[in-house]
Structure 1
Amino acid sequence: MSGKLLYYKGYTGDINYSQEDDCYYGVVKDITGLVSYEGSTWENLEKDFRGAVDDYLTFQETL
């Protein structure tokens, strides 16, 4: 699964899979700071990624 990407509102996130934890995870690329997301299914991963980007954008508005 490594090497695949998610896209949302101009942001990109990578997709990885942890066999040990039996879940997908990733980080938003090319931003200041660390924004991560995870999900037990592909759909949950994408939903959490979008939520993470939205939260990041909301946080950036407060600066």
Structure 2
Amino acid sequence: MNSNILKYKGQIGSIEHDLDRGMLYGKLLFINDFVNYEAESLRALEQEFQISVDEYLADCTAMGIEPNKPFKGSFNVRIGRELHKKLALKAADEGLGLNEAVQRAVEQFVVGEERY
């Protein structure tokens, strides 16, 4: 499976590349701080990511702070006028509000993806 993320100890990190420097780099995602890592190969990047996660989690423990960014449970989505209209009509036809229709669609999208 191709993926642009790394996972370790419940943390998620990005995988990016800099062709000019011939480097791979990334940062921890969904945290309140900035933690980055870089390497010259994918295996080395994964090792640097894991080291960064271990250090970040140790720092959070030492400071008594929660490592992950809390999610509010709400977000804005831009889907275009035509899709918005189709969604509203289908939701109304099925006796649903927009929020419930979107929640159902998102739940269907992530079924089986509960890996984090």
The alignment's TM-score, normalised by the length of structure 1, stands at 0.92
- For 2:56, what is the secondary structure of its paired residue? helix
| Aligned twin of 1:16 | 16
- Determine the C-alpha separation between the residues in 1 that align with 2:21 and 2:28: 20
How many residue pairs get matched? 61
State the identity %: 31
Q: Per residue, is there more strand in 1 or in 2? A: 1
Q: Per residue, is there more helix in 1 or in 2? A: 2
Ranges of 4+ aligned residues in structure 1 off by more than 2 Å: none
| Deviations 1:11-55 (CA, angstroms, capped at 9, x unpaired) | 101100101110100000001110001110011100000000000
Q: What stretches of structure 2 of length at least 5 have no aligned partner?
A: 64-116
**Greater relative contact order (Cα 8 A, min sep 6): structure 1 or 2?**
1
Amino acid at match of 2:41: T
Amino acid at match of 1:46: E
User: C-alpha root-mean-square deviation of aligned residues, in Å?
Assistant: 0.9
| Aligned twin of 1:38 | 38
Q: What stretches of structure 1 of length at least 5 have no aligned partner?
A: none
